[in-house]
Structure 1
Amino acid sequence: MNQIMISRINALINKAVFFILTIPALSILPLPAQSQVVINEVMSSNGTALYDEDGNAPDWIELWNATDAPFDLTGVGLSDDPAQPFKWRFPAYTMAPRQYLVVFASDKNRLSPPLFYETILRRGDTCKYLVPNASTPAMWRSVNFDDSSWPSGLTGFGYGDGDDATLLPGGTLSVFIRKTFYLPDPSAVKDCWLHMDYDDGFVAYLNGKEIARAHLGTPGVPPAWNATADAATHEAVIYQGGMPDGFHVNPDSLLILPGKNVLAIQVHNTSTGSSDMTAIPFLTLGFSTPVQQPRGIDSLTGLHNASFHTNFKISSDGDTIILTSAGGVQMDIFMPGALERDISAG
Structure 2
Amino acid sequence: MPANPTITEFLSINDSVLADIDGEFNDWIELHNPTSATIGLGGYYLTDNDSNLTKWRLPSMNLSPGGYLVVFASGKDRQVASAELHTNFKLSGEGGEYLALVAPDGVTIINEFAPNFPKQFTDVSYGTGISSGKISTETPITTGHEASYIVPKSGEVIGGDWRLPKYNDDDWNVGKTAFGFGYAGQPIGEGGDMTDPMRRSHGTLYLRLPFHVDDIAEVFEMNLRMKYDDGFAAYLNGKLVAQQNAPTTIKFDSLATGSEEFNDDDPFKSFRIAFSGHLVTGKNILAICGMNQSHKGSDFLILPELEVRLQELSEDL
Name the TM-score, length of structure 1 as normaliser. 0.48
Shift of 1:112: 4.5
- Aligned counterpart, 1:153: 175
Shift of 1:225: 1.3
Equivalent pairs counted in the alignment come to 178
Distance 1:138 1:227, change over 3 A: farther
Distance 1:112 1:214, change over 3 A: farther
- Aligned counterpart, 1:93: none
Query: Unpaired runs of 5+ in structure 2?
Result: 1-127
State the AA in 1 paired with 2:180: G
Shift of 1:183: 2.3
Find 2:272's aligned residue among 236, 245, 248.
Answer: 248
- Whether the aligned pair in 1 keeps the contact of 2:211 and 2:285 (CA below 8 Å) is yes
- Aligned counterpart, 2:105: none
Distance 1:111 1:136, change over 3 A: closer
Find 1:185's aligned residue among 209, 212, 215.
Answer: 215
- Aligned counterpart, 2:193: 167
Query: Unpaired runs of 5+ in structure 1?
Result: 1-108, 291-346
What is the CA deviation profile of residues 280-307 of structure 1, one whole-angstrom value per residue up to 9, with x for unaligned ones?
A: 00111111129xxxxxxxxxxxxxxxxx
- Whether the aligned pair in 1 keeps the contact of 2:160 and 2:167 (CA below 8 Å) is no
Find 2:308's aligned residue among 285, 289, 292.
Answer: 285
SS in 2 for 1:187: helix
Shift of 1:115: 2.9
Distance 1:110 1:264, change over 3 A: closer
- Aligned counterpart, 1:306: none
Distance 1:115 1:150, change over 3 A: same
**Is 1:119 aligned with 2:139?**
yes
State the AA in 2 paired with 1:226: D
Distance 1:247 1:110, change over 3 A: closer
Shift of 1:204: 0.3
SS in 2 for 1:140: coil
Query: Larger relative CO (CA 8 A, sep 6+): 1 or 2?
Result: 1
Distance 1:255 1:226 in 2: 27
Where in structure 2 are the equivalents of 1:200-279 lying within 5 Å?
200-218=230-248, 221=249, 223-230=250-257, 232-237=258-263, 239=264, 241-251=265-275, 253-279=276-302
- Greater CA drift, 174-183 or 263-272: 174-183
State the AA in 2 paired with 1:233: S
- Aligned counterpart, 1:195: 225
- Whether the aligned pair in 2 keeps the contact of 1:127 and 1:153 (CA below 8 Å) is yes
Shift of 1:265: 0.5
- Whether the aligned pair in 2 keeps the contact of 1:115 and 1:190 (CA below 8 Å) is no
Shift of 1:243: 0.5
Aligned-residue CA RMSD (Å): 2.5
Distance 1:236 1:182, change over 3 A: same
Higher helix share: 1
SS in 1 for 2:158: coil
- Whether the aligned pair in 2 keeps the contact of 1:229 and 1:269 (CA below 8 Å) is yes
- Whether the aligned pair in 2 keeps the contact of 1:132 and 1:225 (CA below 8 Å) is yes
Shift of 1:151: 1.5
TM superposition outliers: structure 1 runs of 4+ over 4 Å: 109-114
Distance 1:208 1:274, change over 3 A: same
Where in structure 2 are the equivalents of 1:47-86 lying within 5 Å?
none
- Aligned counterpart, 1:76: none
Shift of 1:186: 1.6
Distance 1:146 1:154 in 2: 19
Which has the higher Rg, Structure 1 or Structure 2? 1
- Whether the aligned pair in 1 keeps the contact of 2:182 and 2:300 (CA below 8 Å) is yes
